[in-house]
Structure 1
Amino acid sequence: MSDQLERLNRLPLRDNLRGLTPYGAPQIDVPIQLNVNENTHGVPADVQAAITQAVAEAAVGLNRYPDREFTELREALAEYLGHGLTADNIWAANGSNEVLQQILQAFGGPGRTALGFPPTYSMYPLLASGTDTEYLRGVRAGDYGLSAESAAAQVRELQPNIVFLCSPNNPTGTGLGLDVVEAVYEAGEDSQTVVIVDEAYHEFAHDGTPSALTLLPGRERLIVSRTMSKAFALAGARLGYMAAAPEVTDAIRLVRLPYHLSAITQATALAALRHREALMADVEDIKVQRDRIVDGLTRLGLKPAASDSNYVFFGGLENPHEIWRGLLDAGVLIRDVGIPGHLRVTAGTEAETTAFLEALESLLSRQAALPA
């Protein structure tokens, strides 16, 4: 046991936090970083200028607390989402992780449970532990799919207080049909289960892919979470948000910290929303590179999953960590998600995608040339 861990264990830490490790992907300074699903295109120059001006204007009033209700931002987010939503349906926080944490603070807690379907976003069990909510691990099919029948049966059996449905799913990138969301919601009627559909990557979905936002009317226990980290290239700004019935946003107000969204964050998000056309153009280019990765991996004899996100999950590797290490040595950082035979890569710029595919092809060729 390390000295640091020994010192930690001497503290009166909550029992359900003992033995856990913090969330975190490697932050390694290499030329091509394709491991945490960032928007590698960056913020366009005109949007940078708009954000800089908005932040400068906000800085004049930094001696005062910001609008606690961030009303203008909620109105702008409702307008962006559409579907007849208003500011009353919207809540936001410092990244979608904080939104999820606040939902767990309001509807989870001691004696309550949250159900996820691994492999899925690895923050779900950590957020549950942080709020003293028991995390239940559901099951998926062998191809990591999740059917409406299977998901609903597990909800009826386990009767969780909260269900996480990640769509597109992280790390697999596959979207869920709305039939799954509807079935899970109906199955949770008796247990009054709150259903969270995590749509952090929805803007990257193939054209015509419906959002769970269409299911919100009449479903007061349904929450759809989004983020500006990915499509809006604002991972460093930390702005996540959700859409739900107004009574749900009222419940979140009971647990949110006062003035939790800074004036700088609000100004940055508003400026980006006003200039979203340029940002969405980059999203379309990322989708092209994602599909190019799928085609390239297939050509190399690997097995990429169908992706509605800005990353590709792929299998068919005998030693994925060896490939991960080889790519890193070549200056390309992708993600080892700990699933046997698989890795995950973010869709970057055209040049980054080319570098990844060429480095991977070189590694696979060298492996094939080795004697058995």
Structure 2
Amino acid sequence: MISFSDLPIRENLRGLSPYGAPQKNVPVALNVNENTHPLPENVVADIVEAVSGAVRGANRYPDREFTALRDALAGYLGHALSRENIWAANGSNEVLQQIMQAFGGPGRSLLGFSPTYSMYPLLASGTDTAWISGARDEDYELSADTVVAEIRRTTPSIVILCSPNNPTGTPLGLDVVAAAYEASDGIVIVDEAYAEFMPPDAPSALTLLEGRERLLVSRTMSKAFAFAGVRLGYLAADPAVLDALRLVRLPYHLSALTQAAATAALAHSDEMLAMVGEIVAQRDRIVVELERMGFTPHRTGSNFVLFGGVDEPNAVFETLLASGVLIRDIGIPGHLRVTAGTEAETTAFLEAIAPLAPDARGGAVPVKS
């Protein structure tokens, strides 16, 4: 038996670990930013009907251009977008990988601002693109001055901005995106995986697309749409970008079943997104309660909360896990991250962590429901 490192693997992959988060069978799993709310039964029925129809034609290849799905995604996003502006793949990770394949590669680089989504450097390595880790401002914020200075210093081929940022939850101003675009000669990606959890009046980077042919805005149905298991990510960009992605995508990369399920779900977008308000309420409840307990939750526009003031993150993580509550130790010293779940799941987390809080002083901190 040998390990993969004994094989003639590419040198830039040696020593790397694959992306992964603990998958454990626990009563309360709040570690990977899933939407823990179940899909409404009437939506499930329509999706099942659509998938059933697609199965009947599964002996034929699916629509290679996934036209109906692109029309539905454009209608959902608005902003005068059409199918010519929309691309989709098996999760936003595949969308980002295709961008790296088309615009990255040997001799090219990807700039991100750490801490940020841990898949970015892995996607860079997988496409032989150099990863550049830029620093954030205090409290994980990111200013236009910081971004522009790093772009001018490193001259990257691709810039990726996570908004709100994962794992910190930090929102990003559109002034930062506009400044990054002006300072760069390459591709600028704004990863808006958690955009639906921002305040309703918060502008999206989609508003900046017109006249910016090198700007790409990535989204996903995994979070707000509770579609993590379906794997459907998408982006909005200039039609020329889609032509570039067609060069690197695998033939018929979106199955007929995925296309049918996602299109059916988008027909219920108002109903699917109704749960977002409930999630935001629980997120804000987590922030208030953790702060009251003596922790230091960071500003967040996502469906999760990064909080500091944790003396021994691994010990707290293991204690919570033993009580049936799974959250995430993302490797930031003194910090842990928790996803906002249902009201019951949020209560279970808050009650489990209360005795471990800085202000517990030997006794449990009462939790407000």
Pairing of 1:122-201 with structure 2 (within 5 A): 122-188=118-184, 192-201=185-194
Which residue identity does 1:316 align to in structure 2?
G
2:357 match: secondary structure: helix
**What root-mean-square deviation, in Å, do the aligned CA atoms of Structure 1 and Structure 2 show?**
1.2
Name the residue aligned to 1:235.
Answer: 228
Rounded Cα–Cα distance in structure 1 between residues aligned with 2:358 and 2:148: 45
Instruction: Give secondary structure in 2 for the equivalent of 1:313.
Output: strand
Q: For residue 157 of structure 1, report the CA deviation from its aligned partner.
A: 1.2
d(CA) in 2 for partners of 1:129 and 1:337? 20
Aligned to 1:75: 71
Distance 2:146 2:268 in 1: 42
Q: 1:213 aligns with which of 202, 206, 213?
A: 206
Matched residues in 1 for 2:356 and 2:348: separation?
12
Q: Which runs of 5+ in 2 are unaligned?
A: 364-369
Q: Tell me what 2:366 maps to.
A: none
Paired residues, what number? Answer: 363
> Equivalent of 2:298, from 302, 305, 321?
305
2:338 maps to which of 325, 328, 345? 345
Aligned AA (1:336)? D
Distance in 1, Cα, partners of 2:233 & 2:358:
42
Partner of 2:367: none
Alignment partner, residue 13 of structure 1: 9
Equivalent-residue separation in structure 2 for 1:366 and 1:242 (angstroms) = 44
**Given the alignment of the two structures, is residue 358 of structure 1 paired with residue 351 of structure 2, yes or no?**
yes
* Letter matched to residue 129 of structure 2: T
CA distance in 2, matches of 1:116, 1:275: 34
Aligned-pair identity (%): 65
Deviates more, 1:32-41 or 1:359-368: 359-368
Structure 1 match to 2:83: 87
Cα offset for 1:365?
7.3
Tell me the residue number matched to 1:295. 288
| Partner Cα separation in structure 2 for residue 246 and residue 264 of structure 1 | 25
Counterpart of 1:224? 217
Mapped partners of 1:95, 1:21: distance in 2: 20
CA contact under 8 A between 2:294 and 2:358: conserved in structure 1?
A: no
Partner of 1:25: 21
Change (3 A) 1:357 1:71: same
Amino acid at match of 1:31: P
The structural deviation recorded for 1:9 is: 1.8
Q: Is the 8 A contact 2:286 2:350 kept in 1?
A: yes
User: 2:51·2:257 contact (CA, 8 Å) conserved in 1?
Assistant: yes
Tell me, yes or no, if structure 1 residue 334 matches structure 2 residue 330.
no
Structure 1 residue 325 and structure 2 residue 341: aligned? no
User: Partners of 1:50 and 1:248 in 2: how far apart?
Assistant: 33
Name the SS of the counterpart of 1:369 in structure 2. coil
Kindly state the Cα deviation for residue 367 of structure 1 after the two structures are TM-superposed.
7.0
Amino acid at match of 1:56: S
Q: Provide Cα deviations, 1:104-145, integer angstroms capped at 9, x if missing partner.
A: 000000110000100000000000000000000101113111
> Structure 2 counterpart of 1:332, which letter?
V
Secondary structure of the structure 2 residue equivalent to 1:368:
coil
Distance in structure 2 (CA, Å) of the matches to 1:222 and 1:128: 18
What TM-score do the two structures reach when normalised by structure 2? 0.97
Q: What residue identity is the alignment partner of 2:226? A: A
Task: Give deviations 1:39-61, integer Å, cap 9, x for gaps.
Answer: 00021111111110000111110
Structure-1 separation of matches of 2:215 and 2:77? 16
Alpha-carbon distance between aligned partners in 2 of 1:77 and 1:367, rounded to the nearest angstrom:
48
Shift, 1:278, TM fit: 1.7
Q: Counterpart amino acid of 2:257?
A: I
| 1:278 matched to 2:271 | yes
CA deviations over 1:255-303 (Å, ceiling 9, x no partner): 0001000000000000100011221111111011111111111111111
For the residue of structure 2 that corresponds to 1:226, the secondary structure is strand
Which residue identity is paired with 1:112? R
Give yes or no for the alignment of 1:202 onto 2:195: yes
Q: Tell me how far apart the structure 2 counterparts of residues 322 and 364 of structure 1 sit (CA, whole Å).
A: 12
CA distance in 1, matches of 2:238, 2:315: 47
Q: Which runs of 4+ in 1 moved over 6 A?
A: none
- Could you tell me which amino acid in structure 1 is paired with residue 75 of structure 2? E
- 1:251 equivalent in structure 2: 244
Distance of aligned partners of 1:207 and 1:331 in 2 relative to their CA distance in 1, 3 Å threshold = same
Scaled by the length of structure 1, the TM-score of the pair is: 0.96
Instruction: Give the residue type in structure 2 aligned to 1:219.
Output: R
What residue identity is the alignment partner of 1:157? R
* Alpha-carbon separation, structure 2, partners of 1:288 and 1:271: 27
8 Å CA contact 2:76–2:269 kept in 1: the answer is no
Q: Which amino acid aligns with 1:88?
A: E
